[in-house]
Amino acid sequence: MLAALLLAGCSQDPADPPASTVTVTPSTSAAPSTPTVSATPAQSETPTAAPAPTPAPTAATEPGVIPPCSDAALAVSAGPVEEVDTLRRVAISFTNTSSQVCGLVSYPTAELLGGPGTVLVHVTKRPANAAPRLTLQPGDAAGADVQTSTMDSTTGEKCGRTGTLAVTPPDNTQQRVLDVYLPICDATISAVG
């Protein structure tokens, strides 16, 4: 029987994944040894013996899983404020300064501050079709942008206040206050890309 199982395993088409694994464990008693079969089920197959449950590996140990970029791994910087008619736009860069690969997903958060600890406005997330999942090699950068208006869209009047831009990278907690001053009206931020 053991020989038949081993021969069946050797005659598979190389393009097909193996259907089962046979493990023979020697016995120290006088009773005859029987092989233990653990199967990886095919589409219509049912396993004959289930392996003992094992704890799920953490994200750091799973092959192919990129850990998120930590606060310490990212440098945040801003470009110059661009002005087109009433629109104000600034590009934000998130640079991986660590020696490890890390990932960024979704949106950074942003606020326009009026003074130390005074939030004038929470910047709204601009709709996107999907939240991108970016992999940053050491030294790589991802970007987002903040747009505001010099006109208040609800009143049609000139936007009377400006604020200092503060940004927190996606999945992080450390807010970075940037040397950027924007009108507080109609403020939106893009997802990282």
For 71-189, CATH number?
Answer: 2.60.40
Residue closest to 40 by CA, chosen among 61, 62, 8, 17: 17
Q: How high is the pLDDT of residue 53?
A: 44
pLDDT given for residue 148 in this prediction: 98
Separation of first and last alpha carbons in the chain: 58
Write down the pLDDT at residue 62.
65
Q: In the prediction, which pLDDT does 130 show?
A: 74
Question: Which pair of structure tokens corresponds to residue 150?
Answer: 């010099």
> What pLDDT tens digit does each residue of the chain (193 aa) get?
434 433 344 444 444 333 333 333 333 444 444 444 444 444 433 334 444 444 433 344 467 789 999 999 999 999 999 999 999 999 999 999 999 999 999 999 999 999 877 999 999 999 877 778 899 999 999 999 999 999 999 999 999 999 999 999 999 999 999 999 999 999 999 999 9
Q: pTM of the prediction?
A: 0.66
Q: How is the chain classified by DSSP, letter by letter? A: -HHHHHHHHHTS-TTSPP-EEEE----SSSSPP--EEEE---SS---SSPPPP-PPPPTTTSTTPPPBPPGGGEEEEE-PPEEETTEEEEEEEEEE-SSS-EEEES--EEEEEEETTEEEEEPEEPP-SS--EEEE-TT-EEEEEEEEESB-TTT-SBP--EEEEEEE-TT----EEEEEEEE-EEEEEPPP-
CATH 2.60.40 intervals, the chain: 71-189
pLDDT attached to residue 150: 97
